[in-house]
Amino acid sequence: MSCPYRVINFVLQLLTAILEVVATVFVVLLLWSPCVLGLEFSVSPTMCLFIRPVMALHSVVFVLFRLCCCTVGLDPIAVVFNFIAGVAVTCSSLFLLIDVIMYHCGNEYLYMFYIVGIFGLLAGIMHLVNAFICNRYMPASERLYLKPSKRQRKKALKVRLRENK
């Protein structure tokens, strides 16, 4: 029953990792643009440079673990990571896009700023969608770690005992 959701989760995580890696490469390329070297833009690319590589590396590792272990993905760690990564990447991308739209001079590096912003925004939205999917279709035995109330622990223990038989 959870197999289609695991496939959807994996595909979303793979696409998110690809988008984040491409956006990270373009952020690094932007460091030598005249806009960044001339300090026309320093805060938004720097913020993206601090956030993107960490989230991209974590997404790539998460995808690699999904290839090796099929049980990873629909668990509380995935929910928390995807939610935090989605908010962080979306906020930094929106900040960069608004900054570029309002203050950019229009040189030949403008398309790179838009690629970083749009790919980051798409990756952030995909992280949030993936967090929703992970939370919605998480197996009952994993919910024990998400909501550790006494009633939930008893219920999850019963479910786990039924699954093991």
- Average pLDDT by stretches of 10, the chain with 165 residues: 73 92 92 82 84 91 82 76 93 91 81 91 94 81 63 73 73
CA–CA distance from 82 to each of 12, 56, 78, 132 (Å)?
11, 12, 6, 9
Residue 84's pLDDT is what? 94
Own/partner contacts of 1-5, CB < 8 Å, gap of 24 or more, are 2/74, 2/137, 2/139, 5/74, 5/133, 5/137
Residue 21's pLDDT is what? 95
Residue 147's pLDDT is what? 56
CB atoms within 10 A of CB 29: 13
Residue 15's pLDDT is what? 94
Question: Per the structure block, which two tokens stand in for 145?
Answer: 């770690």
pTM listed for this prediction: 0.80
Residue 149's pLDDT is what? 65
Residue 1's pLDDT is what? 41
Residue 41's pLDDT is what? 77
CA dist 79 and 67 (Å) reads 18
Tell me how far apart the terminal alpha carbons of the chain are, to the nearest angstrom: 18
CA dist 8 and 133 (Å) reads 9
